[in-house]
Chains A and B, each alone.
Chain A
Amino acid sequence: MNTNDTVDPEFTARLEWQVRTALRRTSRLARPARGAWRVAKLAKSAAIVVVALTAGATATLALQRVQESRSAQLRGHIASLELARAAQRQKLCADALARVDAAIARGMEPVSARNEAELAAARGVGELRRRQLDVEEIAASGRAPDDSLAAPRVGGRDFAGARLGVDLDDASAALAVAQHALEHVQQLASAGATGTGEVADARAAVAHAMSEVDRVHARTGLRSRFLSGELSAARVEWLGRIADNEAATIRRAAELERAKAVVERARTLSAAGFAPQGDVAAAELALADAQAELMILRDERALLDEELAAAH
């Protein structure tokens, strides 16, 4: 790594160009003022335009428009390629699911084998829908897709909300698969065909998937409240971070429980001479990690609450 804290002249020049561009863009796209102010502002704008023209700024502005138009074109082209790739991937996943179904029908695969293939197929569909939305948003705005909770509507459409809908479908599919897997493992465990560790793993996977559904659901609600004007942009972003933090806390708490079970198991096996002491040390390290992560998330939540209270 370079420890030099002297700015690179090339970077400075590039950023200066960006600052100039941003200044000119905001000038051109500024909301019109009203009444006398509007007249004054128009006169001022006209004066600026005259000065700019005489200073030979026309060429720069034209060049900049060409540049922006090229960027939008390039962005649209890349999004179309991503869409084609997602369509290809979705088809492969659907074919794989059909093959698994056929194998199950012939008795060559257990029914549980369908879980992974089903999840992959659902994700393939979700990815395809997401890429389609990206292409449409870029075509409408010329800008990169905006997934933030405070993203504006584009051409009257709520792309950020639509992508949250896709996320919710993905998360629901993952939850259904995790629940099937848990039921299957529980049946095996009751028949003595698998251990409690696998059941704990499957439970953690369900908790993980459920927290993701809750997270996306919470974000969807926040998005609606922002669009209805109930929440400001800053507040909705903060509340979004709190929703993310809550989901992560639930996940970490589940991982902590799982890590405790792993430590217990490793200690029992090690005491009976079936596992090396290194396994116990590794499990204890993972447990310490999970505890620390959970502590940090709780600290972060306290910090977010404080900042939210201070801001409002």
Chain B
Amino acid sequence: MDEAGWLALYRETVAPLYAFVARRCGGDRALAEDVTQEAWLRAVDAWRRGGAPREPLAWLQTTARRLLIDWARGEGRRRFDRVELALDEQVLAPTTPRAVAAVQQALARLRAPDAALLEEFHFDGRSVREIATAAGASEKAIEGRLRRARDALAARLRPWIEEARTP
């Protein structure tokens, strides 16, 4: 691939890659930019040696996800207030770096299909119907899997959630 090809690929993928990362960073723009940058520079290194993969964006997203998990591990796990994390049937929204780190670590410890399902629904904004169609399953089955995955995630996060103290 020549430089023009590389740059076309870069321009095609950078915005969706950034959006993918930003949705997982609780709006922390600096973190999202760092991860996006590192993912793309790793791509340059890997693709120059082995050629670009068939699905470059998927490769970049997987790399970005691993970088985020590594970052979360480096951050360590700190307790956080419940208000730093919105988690219910429709929302999974960590709003501070420590809540983002805890969610990333908890997701990394879930069964891979459960983590992927939660990410698709909560971070990528795909509807139950879309996920069900892609998976060839019923919407009811997907709703059930989502509920169980959310429960598993909440259980992983529970020791780290500090209830707000009344003054």
Contact = CB atoms under 8 A, between A and B. Distances in A.
Interface in B1-39: 3, 6-7, 10-11, 14-15, 18-19, 22-23, 26-29, 32-33, 36-37
B44 A19 contact: yes
Interface in B63-80: 73, 77, 79
Interface in A163-207: none
Contacts, number: 78
Given A11-B33, A19-B44, A6 B73 contact: no
A74 interface: no
B48 interface: yes
Contacts of A22: 41, 44-45
Contacts of A23: 3, 6, 44, 48
B29 A16 contact: no
B29 A4 contact: yes
A26 interface: yes
Nearest to A295: B159
A278 to B, nearest CB: 12
B19 A6 contact: yes
A2 B10 contact: no
B10 A19 contact: yes
Interface string B140-153: 00000000000000
Nearest to A11: B33
Interface string B51-92: 000000000000000000000010001010000000000000
A14 B23 CA distance: 21
A293 B102 CA distance: 12
Given A3-B27, A4-B22, A300 B73 contact: yes
Contacts of B3: 20, 23-24
Contacts of B108: 303
Contact of A2 (B14, B29, B37): B29
Interface in A3-57: 3-8, 11-12, 15-16, 18-20, 22-24, 26
A16 B77 contact: no
| Dominant SS among interface residues on chain A | helix
B121 interface: no
A12 B26 CA distance: 20
Interface residues of B, number: 34
A237 to B, nearest CB: 11
A303 B10 contact: no
A109 interface: no
B44 A303 contact: no
A1 B159 contact: no
A296 B19 contact: no
A296 B76 CA distance: 10
B18 A5 contact: yes
A51 to B, nearest CB: 9
Contacts of A20: 3, 7
A289 interface: yes
A288 interface: yes
Contact of A19 (B7, B95, B160): B7
A1 B84 CA distance: 12
A19 B159 CA distance: 42
A187 B70 CA distance: 45
Contacts of B159: 288, 292
B126 interface: no
Interface of A: 1-8, 11-12, 15-16, 18-20, 22-24, 26, 288-289, 292-293, 296, 299-300, 303
Given A4-B29, A5-B19, A299-B109, 12 more contacts: A3-B27, A4-B27, A5-B32, A6-B15, A6-B19, A7-B19, A8-B33, A12-B14, A16-B7, A19-B7, A22-B41, A292-B160
25 contacts: A1-B26, A2-B27, A3-B26, A4-B29, A5-B19, A5-B23, A5-B27, A6-B15, A6-B18, A7-B14, A8-B29, A11-B33, A11-B36, A15-B40, A19-B6, A19-B7, A19-B40, A20-B7, A22-B41, A22-B45, A26-B44, A292-B160, A299-B109, A300-B73, A303-B109
